């Protein structure tokens, strides 16, 4: 795989996302695909990748790649299903219940959902995250020369980890959710066959 053109807190988790792609996955969807960097990586594992983003300019500026189709769309308007669905730093752009209930229906039976998300820090329930700060600062300092990313709208997360877990328990039963370094959590869910 070619070297990444840039690094940031989202690219940091691309290898985790790729590790979640099942061996037999043929189709993939990346929601909030930005410049399509992850979609192009998914195309090394899947025959057909669709990336969608609500920002038409970022889609227009994205490089073309074989087996990758990028489209200007709101993921909540899609009605296909995919063997693997990914969402990196995008779920917090919509209300979490709305987002996870839509994602559930985009995953084909037996398929996998892999989310890298942001949550709203809570001073009490996230207190144990504080010891991780030196590690985050260390990685940021180590990688600062390669820092970059697409020019897209950013949004502060509005939901706490408790609210995200509650929405996942309702719509994605059995989802594995873990807080991670770089202010991110990962969520993995497999849709029953």
- Taking CB atoms, the residue at the shortest distance from ligand SAM is 32
Residue 41 or 191 with smaller CB distance to ligand SAM: 41
Whether the CB-CB separation of 190 and 111 falls below 8 Å is answered with: yes
Residues that bind ligand SAM (CB under 6 A): 10, 31-34, 52-55, 58, 74-76, 88-90, 93-94, 149-150, 152-154
Min dist. Cβ of residue 55 to ligand SAM (A): 4
Q: Which helix (H) or strand (E) holds 139?
A: helix 133-143
Specify the 3-state DSSP secondary structure of 48: strand
Q: Which helix (H) or strand (E) holds 161?
A: helix 161-171
Min dist. Cβ of residue 13 to ligand SAM (A): 9
Min dist. Cβ of residue 127 to ligand SAM (A): 26
Q: Which helix (H) or strand (E) holds 186?
A: strand 184-190
Phi, psi torsion values for 162, nearest 5 degrees: -60, -40
Residue 86 or 193 with smaller CB distance to ligand SAM: 86
């Amino acid at each position: 795989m070619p070297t990444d053109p840039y690094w940031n807190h989202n690219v940091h988790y691309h290898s985790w996302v790729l590790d979640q792609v099942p061996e037999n996955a043929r189709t993939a969807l990346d929601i909030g695909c930005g410049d399509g960097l992850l979609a192009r990586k998914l195309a090394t594992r899947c025959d057909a990748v669709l990336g969608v983003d609500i920002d038409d300019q970022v889609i227009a500026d994205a490089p073309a790649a074989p087996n990758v189709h990028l489209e200007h769309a709101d993921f909540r308007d899609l009605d296909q299903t995919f063997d693997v669905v990914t969402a990196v730093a995008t779920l917090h752009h919509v209300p979490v219940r709305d987002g996870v209930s839509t994602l559930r229906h985009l995953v084909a039976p037996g398929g996998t959902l892999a989310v890298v998300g942001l949550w709203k820090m809570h001073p009490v329930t996230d207190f144990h995250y504080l010891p991780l700060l030196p590690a985050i600062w260390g990685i940021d300092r180590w990688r600062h020369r390669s820092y970059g990313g697409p020019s897209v709208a950013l949004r502060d997360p509005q939901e706490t980890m408790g609210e995200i877990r509650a929405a996942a328990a309702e719509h994605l039963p059995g989802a594995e959710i873990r807080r991670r370094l770089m202010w991110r959590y990962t969520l993995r869910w497999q849709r029953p066959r």
